Amino acid sequence: MPGLHIQGGIPLNGEIAASGAKNAALPLLAACIMLKGTSILTNVPHLMDVFTMIKMLNSLGVRAELHKGNRVIINNTKKVRHIAPYDLVTAMRASFFVAGPLVARTGFAKVPLPGGCSIGSRPIDIHLKGFERLGVEHRIEHGFVEMKAKSLKGAVVHMDFPSVGATENVMMAASLAVGTTVIENAAREPEITDLGNFLNKAGAQITGHGTAVITIHGVPELTGTEHAVVSDRIEAGSLLLAGAITGGEVTVTNTVPEHSAPLLEKLREAGFQISVGPTWMKVDACSQFNGVDIETLPFPGFPTDMQAQMMALLTLANGTSIIKESIFENRFMHAHELMRMGAKIKLDNRHAIITGVPKLTAAEVKMTDLRAGAALILAALAAQGTTDIHGLKHLRRGYDDLPGKLRSLGARITE
């Protein structure tokens, strides 16, 4: 199984540009199902999940092609099929983002139930409840969700939980509904703001995206447009932590620092010197830092996608830290691997209590999910000795050449 070989103990220094956000590119690509004509997405990250979504669009009859320079050109001129292929949906549960656009565009959608994954059961009840409010009839059989709607009607959709995917799916479907939809208790992540901006460029009439109340006045048609994918705040945060954990000075460019505000706040609280500019953020070299307490929450709270990476850092803090994972029910698998490197962590249901240790030591470890992979790489960069990390496929799914970016900061990583 391909793996990474990382020599630890080398402070990382320098400047690195973040790529476009995976979690923005995926819904943006799905939204193109509803846009007539040609769309161009730029700043698209090169990673497996994006390639899977491009395959998905082509399998539905929407021509999508990846061009050099991180551009994807989408031609949506032919009739669209409404059945999403099983193998692609199970390869990536985010494929469920095609459900809203499909039912809005064709009146039908037949999408395999997305599987759970290692971090949780990942239900879609909030998505389905939202669709129901818009007039979609749905049933689940043979592992597929079948949806049909003669026409979508605007409605008030109250989300039991501010689900990112459900907010995006309902916002997309509502864009082509007849009448006005108000999504209450909507998720506020920057990727949702980016999707709303894209849809408005295509002719949608959306306001409030990025706040807890999104209003969508349905329009009869959306047309292709051009859009740059927003910068990846999770990749940017992971790169910044690579500097922090190795005691180096790292500047991440091509970012929106305010999207990383919760992380920067916690790093300052731990004692790091953080500076930001309009599109960059920097951590100064610092050898001693303190433990901090963290609870993962919907944006603008601390992001669950940074929880594993932050845990890796806090294993080396002075003092104790408590992390509460309030979003997913099983997102501490990386703790067991970190303990094999000498970390002192106690797990108690949704809480992890981390007692800082003076050093980590290299070990043979494996990635269990995407962000756990980034956490193990961070730990390996700081550990004494050379660490072997297995499970590279998780990394390739969600990061655009993270090892290459770290090598450009001085990391000794071979694949």
Using CB under 6 A, list all residues that contact ligand EPZ. Answer: 22-23, 26, 94, 120, 122-127, 161, 163-166, 187, 304-305, 327-328, 370-371, 398
Least distance (Å) from ligand EPZ to the CB of residue 119?
6
Closest to 357 (Cα-Cα) out of 328, 311, 318, 329: 318
Judge contact between 309 and 375, C-beta under 8 A.
yes
Closest separation in Å from C-beta 163 to ligand EPZ = 3
Q: How far is the CB of 99 from ligand EPZ (least distance, A)?
A: 11
Residues with Cβ < 8 Å from 308, sequence gap 6 or more? 331, 334, 371, 372, 374, 375
Q: Environment class of residue 69 by beta-carbon count within 10 Å: exposed (0-12), middle (13-18) or buried (19+)?
A: exposed
Name beta bridge partners: 384: 361
User: In angstroms, rounded to a whole number, what is the distance separating the alpha carbons of residues 376 and 249?
Assistant: 20
Report the C-alpha gap between 17 and 263 in whole angstroms. Answer: 18
Minimum CB distance to ligand EPZ smaller for 26 or for 376: 26
Q: Which helix (DSSP H) or strand (DSSP E) does residue 198 occupy?
A: helix 190-201
State the nearest-atom distance from the C-beta of 328 to ligand EPZ, in Å.
5
Residue placing its CB nearer to ligand EPZ in the complex, 107 or 120: 120
Taking the least distance from each CB to ligand EPZ, the nearer of 239 and 360 is: 239
Structure tokens at 322: 């408590």
Helices 333-340 and 307-314: angle between axes, nearest 10 degrees: 30
Smaller CB separation from ligand EPZ, 23 or 175: 23
- Identify whether 117 is a catalytic site residue: yes
**Which position has the token pair 């979690």?**
23
Closest to ligand EPZ by CB, 272 vs 399, is 399
- Residue 204 C-beta: closest distance to ligand EPZ, Å: 20
Catalytic residue among 66, 117, 182, 347: 117
- State how far the Cα of 75 lies from the Cα of 39, in Å rounded to an integer: 7
**What one-letter code names the amino acid at 301?**
G
Q: What residues act catalytically?
A: 117
